[in-house]
A and B are shown apart, each in its own frame.
Chain A
């Protein structure tokens, strides 16, 4: 049982380049999330998808787009990368966001992105 799988693990981009971070989960979860982690800032929510077919902005969505491709997959795209987007990106999933019960997230191992 792989849980949440992110690719790539590492990526170096030049300013202005584009790229897509891929995320897949095999736990039949309905909800998926993208966070970025920066030193001293903790985790900040970029986008989330409460269920297949829906996406919503989080705390820091500017410069990013997402696609919920199907129930398993949720990708994050940087259209024109900037040095401020240098960060570690985490994908997470949970059974059901916004419904009864505590929302426990399962995280992927992270993708370290450097924008030069």
Chain B
């Protein structure tokens, strides 16, 4: 079985400050890891993925994520937060090619 934990329901950060949204996972074998973002009243949009290779993955809108195999984590980061980054963020994990399992989501609020 595979699972994802997003330990924070909400993350608050001031505009211009760095942000981190946490994710840990459990999966048999090598993981495929994903981050999606959901803006209000919209569907989820793909941000980035980790398959193999460099532990730091760069994605859309200036976001990046760091894969840490020993800690089974895949935290989402951005060096300087924007108010427009405020949204719901979902981490997901899947074995190769299979259907990803999503976390419960973390609400990111960026204050002006």
Contact = CB atoms under 8 A, between A and B. Distances in A.
Interface of A: 4, 33, 35, 40-43, 45, 48, 58, 90, 92, 96-110
- Interface size on B, as a range, is 20 to 34
A107 B99 CA distance: 14
A40 B104 contact: yes
B102 A43 contact: yes
Interface in B1-46: 9, 32, 34, 36, 41-46
B97 A42 contact: no
Give the interface SS of chain A, mostly helix, strand, loop or mixed. Answer: loop
A48 to B, nearest CB: 6
Interface of B: 9, 32, 34, 36, 41-46, 49, 51, 90, 94, 96-100, 102-105
Nearest to A107: B43
Contact of A110 (B9, B42, B105): B42
Q: Which of B9, B36, B41, B43 gathers the greatest number of chain A CB atoms within 10 Å?
A: B43
A99 B90 contact: no
A96 B97 contact: yes
A35 B101 CA distance: 11
B98 A97 contact: yes
A103 B32 CA distance: 9
Given A102-B34, A105-B46, A42 B98 contact: no
B97 A103 contact: yes
Contact of B99 (A33, A101, A106): A33
B104 A48 contact: no
Contact of B97 (A4, A35, A92, A99): A99
